[in-house]
Amino acid sequence: MKRQQELISLSREHHQSLRLAKQCLDTAATGDEAKCIALCEHIASIFDQEWDRHFLNEEKSIFNITATLSGKIHELGKQLVDEHNKMRAMAAQMHPGDCGKLADFGALLKDHTRLEERELFPLVEAQFSAEQLQLIEKNT
């Protein structure tokens, strides 16, 4: 799917999110406690630098704007911010390496990322002004 220039960086990061989600789901499915612990610890150690930074960028540049709009884009924005907060809480609880938490995190990350790419971004491209789109690129 072709993206407007201002969203390309976030879309590339979404590709990485989908890779991590698959890794979480695959690792959890093995039931190998050592692998689950290692991946949970890895996620917890990089979450603030990589994933939370991405979430904060979206919140500053996209969701601050969707909060001022109405309709589907407004509702999606609220849902996606709630999901960011849920993933933050899940990542903070991953230190023990619970495979169930890892699978839940992977499933939410996968669904969340696809929702942004398939539903939110087309609405952003259609409804945001050129100045609002530039704000996205500036924050990424």
pLDDT of residue 98: 72
pLDDT at residue 135 is higher than 90: no
**Element spanning 57, H or E:** helix 53-58
For the entire predicted model, the pTM comes to 0.93
CATH label of the domain that carries residue 26 = 1.20.120.520
Number of domains in the chain: 1
Tell me the CA distances in angstroms from 49 to 31, 34, 54, 98, 121, one per residue in order. 28, 24, 9, 22, 23
Residue 24 DSSP label = H
Domain holding 18, by residue range, is 5-139
